[in-house]
Structure 1
Amino acid sequence: MGPTDIETLISVGRPTVASDGSFAVFATSRPDISADRNVGQLWRIELPSGEPRRLTRGVADTSPRLSPDGGHVAFLRGDADGKAQIHVIEASGSEPVQVTDAPLGVGSFAWAPAGDVLAYTARVPESGRYGTIDGLAPEAESPRRITGIRWHANGVGYIADRPAHVFVVAAPDLGSEPSYETAPGPQTSSSTRARRVPEAARQLTSGSRSHDGVVFTADGTEILTTTDEIEHDRRDLRSPLVAVRVDGTGERVVLSATLSIADIAVAADGSIAFLASDPGPAGTDFVAPGVALWVLDGDQPRRLTDPDTIDLGEVGSHITAVGDDFLVQNRTRGEVHLLRVSRDGAIARLRRGLEVVGHGADAAGERIVCAVATNRSAGEILFLDAAGVDARLLTSFGDAASRAGFVLPRELEVTAPDGYPVHGWVATPPGDGPFPVLLQIHGGPYAAYGVHLFDETQVLVDAGYAVVYCNPRGSAGYGRAHGRSIRGRMGTDDFVDVLAFLDGAVAADERLDGDRVGIMGGSYGGYLTAWTIAHDHRFAAAIVERGFLDPTTFSGTSDIGSFFGDEYVGTDPTAIRAQSPMAVVDQVTTPTLVVHSELDFRCPLEQATRYYSALRRQGTASELVIFPGENHELTRSGRPRHRVERFEAILDWWGRQLPV
């Protein structure tokens, strides 16, 4: 798989299943280099064994949700300005009708139980900003007065002057007269937006608080959502759960801010379930947060899963109500398993014998449909019965990647010097070698490498390198204690584990050339790469990408700086320095390529430029590559051309520093 073969990586989003279980609808997405964006459409598949057919032909249609009666599909599509708006089509296929006209686009949305209303969240811009006045450029706007401890977010930008609020809008009558844009007239204001939708939306919330997620109560009279207020003094990750009345008469607190809530679901009997973690009495303990499934008994939360052994915190993890039970996703040892959890806490794993990473599920009756990734595909649809006995892949989107060519990594477990097991994988090119070796380190740190097809590894193997990668202490998927073990101790056990895994992989396969080794990683992986090359000088070269490199300046520049460093490296200056790559940069002699994105607010650009400048000043061979217009998510959702150019820069660096 070469750099341009990222076009073959077709991912599948969370499916939506008709209430009678007869069919499902899902969205695909893939990078398109010529369009320089991710493209994708909606698909429909008859159950239990139908062939998928394309339902829409938009450029980037996403997030389908079937109406309660299964007759219509609501989804997100960019409008003429590129902002995501709710559109609705017939479930059998029809011309889409645009339902919303939110100036900054729609976030989450949901159907009302009766199917007559859609609720959604959308950011509401302060007047005079973000295009609300035609011709007023961003640099001509008034200054922002910031009084809280947060002001920006990666991938969003400034947040205080555009809070997200809850809206409702009538579901469209697809048989009615189409809506037409309003033509300008003599009295039309230049700031008046032309109406593009059948019905005007109604805003239910206001003020400075933002709202995240919308879920209707069983009777349809209220909308459940969480709120987020920018703090004045110190960060608090706890989020209250509130119910907003659909008739606009107010809201009530369902659960006070005691937990950090990630997802909400309502069962048919009206019971409320949610995924949440306990950030402790200070409200900032997020290290290996222990996301669990909870239900509300009256006004009291009751936990159904054990956060020390079951991890429901995978990005995008959610709840699906199935009768009296709930489906959730547990990440473990590089996989994400679907679990069925009863109200009394009994747990059954539904799928066995197929290595997958689950990306979302929906169910109707005894039929369950999942979006998954496998070691041969970036995205497929998996069909399951409620007992988990019948499990079949219904799609073959991975065929495109197979034609491009890839290798299947080999699973390996190595014992660290202190006896701790380190789990990971080794991917090698075909042939007898010897192959130069690249040690990859993932971000997080509470994240994990997995069994799914991974372009980062495949491109390097295609270029002739053996790639070793593992989940050291601090990673997710091996119990909460494993994830919390490096809190206040970054660069200790994690450092030992990655080197032990590298040594073990080389010793286990004579084709790996242990004398010709490179190291690379992004985000936390950039941190551990920079830390490693300051303490171990075996590497021919290194790549430090979007790294967490200086905890001291991180606190005042990152969108998570108000709590991330405090929780991981502490607040004592001596302890911070003992865990800081910037504090030991003078020990680095390894040639280093520093890669970063211009609009990265998670690990801000100054982390890279200061580190690179220090390397250059002391005479260490180094180069810096900066991608304009990209943020922390470049490798996952950046412009396809930039993703290809990034791979080309990486291969060029290795070609010069560690030639095959």
Structure 2
Amino acid sequence: MRTLVVLAAATSLLLALTACTGTDEEPTSRPSTSPTGSPTSSPSANPGSSSPLQPAPDPISVAALADADLPGGDLRLGAVRERTDSFTSYDVTFGSTRSGRGSRRMTISGVLNVPTGRGPFPAVVLAHGYIDPAYYERGQGMTRERGHLATAGYVALHVDYRNHAESDDDPRVETAVRLGYSADVVAAARALAATDRVRVDADRIALFGRSMGGGVMLKALGAEPGLFAAGVGWASVSSLEAENFAQFQASDASTARLRAATRGRHGLPTDDPAFWRGISARPLLDRITEPVLLVHGRLDETCPPRWASATHRALRRAGVDATLEWYDDQHAFGPAFVTAMDRTVRFLRDSMPQ
């Protein structure tokens, strides 16, 4: 892994960086074929911005992301990448922002699959997992998911994130890039809702994250409750960033500079647990108003299955309508991919009915 992505302040670091092996805690339940049931409590009301009596949140935190204005729009269709009987695929760009309304506008690249037909179509924003930005190519990481969704009748917008492919670079890459990823998927949803270039049903836009993108998804739902109609997380990283650090960085000798830089500004998770909790999704799960589907493989060698169980429990405790589905597969989802995607499409149809 290249050290350019080394977050000198390591602040948002913060989802998973690379694949890694470890001792996974295998779930004992079998894969279910239906939702696990309704939560015992209703989702809590959305809290507003920080009370004047409370200190302002750390500017590098999910709470600060929730307080920020995160505009998006100006979806532009570029070259046609592919045409099939079911959909047409385009290179696209749209607008995001570095830190909120009034700050410098950024252009984010991506790939858009548009189903054949008149629409308006429901849509899904796709948040991919970690791929070294030095080698990442436009639309990489969720090609199968994008095609499956478009064939099922969903506009699918794959977000490249800032500092990836043809997206603009964010000079804060060394301090807050990962939170910027969540800002970019929020901007993508707003771009889809506002565009007149594709017929999208603005009330039926979901967010689907894979691996690192699962953490991006949860942070975006917590930061912007009500923007999306549903959330999906496949093989997701932990909703606690200290666990991601321990799994993906703490034992890797190549991250010595990263660990030193982190210690210098905020400390390692054991030095500054409040900061690391603040950049995690879990403390703001009670802001989520949308149903959430988590999909995980019992044999996941990268993101331990116990993380999915813990996040699911935390979501349910927070009053979120959350479902966890297990499959006998690994992190990349090979044999179970089609079955899991069919289940995901059913969840989206149930969550975003016409």
Using the size of structure 1 for normalisation, the TM-score is 0.36
Stretches of structure 1 that go unaligned for 5 or more consecutive residues are 1-259, 261-276, 280-284, 289-314, 316-354, 356-373, 378-401
CA distance in 1 between counterparts of 2:122 and 2:229 reads 10
CA distance in 1 between counterparts of 2:341 and 2:331 reads 16
Partner of 1:421: helix, strand, or coil?
strand
Q: What is the identity, as a one-letter code, of the residue corresponding to 1:631? A: Q
CA distance in 2 between counterparts of 1:519 and 1:624 reads 16
CA gap 1:450/1:560 in 2 versus in 1, 3 angstroms: same
Partner of 1:444: helix, strand, or coil?
coil
Size of the alignment, in residue pairs? 262
The structure with the greater share of residues assigned to helix is 2
Partner in structure 1 of residue 350 of structure 2: 656
Q: Alpha-carbon deviation of 1:501?
A: 2.7
Aligned 1:581-620 pairs, distance under 5 A: 581-620=281-320
Q: What is the identity, as a one-letter code, of the residue corresponding to 2:289? A: T
Mark the structure with the bigger radius of gyration: 1
Partner in structure 1 of residue 188 of structure 2: 501
Stretches of structure 2 that go unaligned for 5 or more consecutive residues are 8-18, 20-78, 98-103
Deviations 1:401-446 (A, max 9, x none): x6xx442322222222431111112221122211111111111164
Matched, 1:414 2:100: no
| Equivalent position to 1:442, from 119, 128, 153 | 128
Matched, 1:287 2:6: yes
Contact 2:94 2:108 in 1 (8 A): yes
Partner in structure 2 of residue 553 of structure 1: 243
Partner of 2:119: helix, strand, or coil?
coil
Contact 2:285 2:315 in 1 (8 A): yes
Higher mean C-alpha deviation, range 565-574 or range 521-530: 565-574
CA gap 1:517/1:478 in 2 versus in 1, 3 angstroms: closer
CA distance in 2 between counterparts of 1:608 and 1:422 reads 30
Partner of 2:311: helix, strand, or coil?
helix
Q: Alpha-carbon deviation of 1:559?
A: 5.6
CA gap 1:532/1:644 in 2 versus in 1, 3 angstroms: same
| Equivalent position to 2:220, from 517, 532, 536 | 532
CA gap 1:659/1:450 in 2 versus in 1, 3 angstroms: farther
Q: Alpha-carbon deviation of 1:376?
A: 4.6
Q: Percent identity?
A: 23
CA distance in 1 between counterparts of 2:267 and 2:353 reads 40
Aligned 1:465-480 pairs, distance under 5 A: 465-475=154-164
Contact 1:446 1:474 in 2 (8 A): no
Runs of 4+ in structure 1 deviating by more than 6 angstroms, as ranges, are 567-570
Using the size of structure 2 for normalisation, the TM-score is 0.64
Partner of 1:420: helix, strand, or coil?
strand
RMSD: 3.3
CA gap 1:455/1:649 in 2 versus in 1, 3 angstroms: same
Partner of 2:206: helix, strand, or coil?
strand
The structure with the greater share of residues assigned to strand is 1
CA distance in 1 between counterparts of 2:243 and 2:184 reads 28
Aligned 1:154-303 pairs, distance under 5 A: 277=2, 279=3, 287=6
| Equivalent position to 2:339, from 630, 645, 655 | 645
Deviations 1:606-653 (A, max 9, x none): 22111100111232111101222x22221xxx22xx111111111111
Matched, 1:633 2:332: yes
Deviations 1:558-587 (A, max 9, x none): 365535795899723233122111222222
